[in-house]
């Protein structure tokens, strides 16, 4: 690795080492590989989705539990996976499958002792659910990618913890000591942010450009597409909402909690009550995956 004058590892070396860490993460399940492939072409059919789910008994059971939950209020018991797929729809089904498969992969990743998997998982899921709900109310290009972008927006943070534990720990300590933002601390100590690494990682996975940009710019959405409304604005708001309700990856807060305050930036403040209600229903069902 390249070391600079101050003794710090160079940003280029950090990027290279972090991205190399993708290869050391546990492999995706066959179901997830297929679903990620469909994200790039977005042409998965109802029949394909149902067949994929039926080949994974855990996922099939999860789908049935979800569709029979109060979230959907379906009268009677749904016992057929294909019936469940019809009720959920392909897009919601894909979100569920991705959540379950990603959580399996994360659970088998070797992490440093100071890494809090529960906090990271809950924050990622919260951001995913919030992203999806906000994208339903705010017209934005590629809204179908909101859930995935929210779920994976902080994967760069995980890569830093896995591949550069000393640098990761140093940024956490600096943030705790100074109260400065996570992004500022990362730039000062390692020259690259977890958001940038997230975008690079998702690009390596060949996810659609709006999703990779949403992750890369979730702390600076105005830079994603020359200030035009972009999926990054949705993920930025979702990330803040998750932090506001206490689902943060750390004990430190950049700002005091403000119920629904993140929605005001998208002129959705009036929607806060309905978003929060729907969030609680969906989150309570899906957090069982993690």
- The answer to whether residues 199 and 91 belong to one domain is no
Q: Which of 53-57, 127-131, 256-260 has the lowest mean pLDDT?
A: 256-260
Domain end point (choices 84, 108, 132)? 108
Residue 22: its pLDDT value, please?
80
Task: Say which residue, 257 or 60, is predicted with more confidence.
Answer: 60
Q: Which residues pair with 3 in a beta bridge?
A: 9
227-233, long-range: CB within 8 Å, 24+ apart, which pairs? Answer: 229/138, 229/139, 229/140, 229/141, 230/140, 230/141, 231/135, 231/140, 231/141, 231/142, 231/143, 231/145, 231/146, 231/149, 233/138, 233/140, 233/265, 233/266
Rounded Cα–Cα distance for residues 148 and 168 (Å): 24
Q: Which of 109-123, 137-151, 220-234 has the lowest mean pLDDT?
A: 109-123
- The answer to whether residues 193 and 222 belong to one domain is yes
Query: In the predicted model, what is the mean pLDDT of residues 239-250?
Result: 91
Query: Is residue 253 very low, low, confident or very high in pLDDT (cuts 50, 70, 90)?
Result: low
- The answer to whether residues 200 and 271 belong to one domain is yes
- The answer to whether residues 144 and 268 belong to one domain is yes
Domain count, the chain: 2
Would you say residue 95 has pLDDT above 80? yes
- The answer to whether residues 86 and 167 belong to one domain is no
CATH assignment of the domain containing 163: 1.10.3210.10
User: Phi and psi of 269, rounded to 5°?
Assistant: -55, -35
- The answer to whether residues 16 and 122 belong to one domain is yes
Query: In the predicted model, what is the mean pLDDT of residues 127-133?
Result: 96
Residue 180: its pLDDT value, please?
92
Parent domain of 41: 26-108
Average pLDDT of every residue of the chain: 83
- The answer to whether residues 132 and 225 belong to one domain is yes
Rounded Cα–Cα distance for residues 93 and 67 (Å): 10
Residue 8: its pLDDT value, please?
53
How is the chain classified by DSSP, letter by letter? --B-TTSPBPHHHHHHHHHHGGGGSPPPPHHHHHHHHHHHH----HHHHHHHHHT-HHHHHHHHHHHTSTTT--SS----HHHHHHHH-HHHHHHHHHHHHHHHHHHTS---TT--HHHHHHHHHHHHHHHHHHHTTS--SSGGGHHHHHHHTTHHHHHHHHH-HHHHHHHHHHHHHH---HHHHHHHHTSS-HHHHHHHHHHHTT--HHHHHHHHTTT-GGGTTTTS--HHHHHHHHHHHHHHTT--SSS--SS---TTHHHHTTT-GGGHHHHHHHHHHHHHHHGGG-
Q: What percent of the chain has pLDDT over 90?
A: 42
Q: Which of 27-41, 198-212, 256-270 has the lowest mean pLDDT?
A: 27-41
- The answer to whether residues 173 and 69 belong to one domain is no
- The answer to whether residues 38 and 63 belong to one domain is yes
Task: Say which residue, 267 or 7, is predicted with more confidence.
Answer: 267
Q: What pTM did the predictor assign? A: 0.84
- The answer to whether residues 101 and 140 belong to one domain is no
């Amino acid at each position: 690795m390249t070391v600079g004058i101050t003794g710090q590892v160079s940003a280029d070396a950090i990027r290279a080492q972090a991205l190399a860490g993708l290869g050391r993460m546990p492999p995706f399940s066959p179901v997830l590989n297929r679903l990620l492939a469909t994200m790039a072409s977005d042409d998965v059919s109802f029949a394909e989705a149902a067949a994929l789910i039926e080949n994974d008994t855990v996922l099939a059971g999860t789908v049935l539990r979800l569709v029979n939950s109060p979230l959907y209020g379906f009268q009677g018991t749904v016992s057929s996976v294909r019936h469940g797929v019809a009720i959920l729809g392909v897009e919601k089904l894909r979100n569920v499958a991705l959540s379950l498969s990603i959580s399996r992969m994360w659970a088998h990743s070797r992490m440093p002792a100071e890494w809090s998997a529960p906090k990271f998982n809950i924050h990622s899921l919260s951001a995913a659910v919030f992203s999806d709900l906000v994208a339903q109310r705010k017209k934005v290009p590629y809204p179908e990618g909101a859930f995935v972008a929210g779920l994976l927006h902080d994967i760069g943070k995980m890569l830093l913890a896995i591949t550069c534990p000393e640098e990761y720990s140093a940024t956490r300590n600096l943030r705790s000591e100074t109260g400065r933002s996570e992004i500022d601390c990362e730039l000062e100590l390692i020259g690259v942010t977890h958001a940038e690494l997230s975008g690079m990682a998702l690009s390596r996975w060949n996810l659609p450009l709006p999703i990779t940009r949403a992750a890369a710019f979730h702390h600076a959405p105005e830079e994603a597409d020359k200030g035009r409304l972009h999926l990054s604005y949705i993920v930025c708001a979702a990330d803040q909402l998750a932090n506001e309700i206490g689902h943060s990856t750390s004990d430190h807060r950049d700002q005091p909690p403000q119920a629904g305050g993140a929605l005001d930036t998208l002129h959705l403040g009036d929607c806060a009550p309905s978003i929060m209600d729907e969030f609680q229903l969906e989150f309570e069902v899906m957090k069982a995956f993690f």
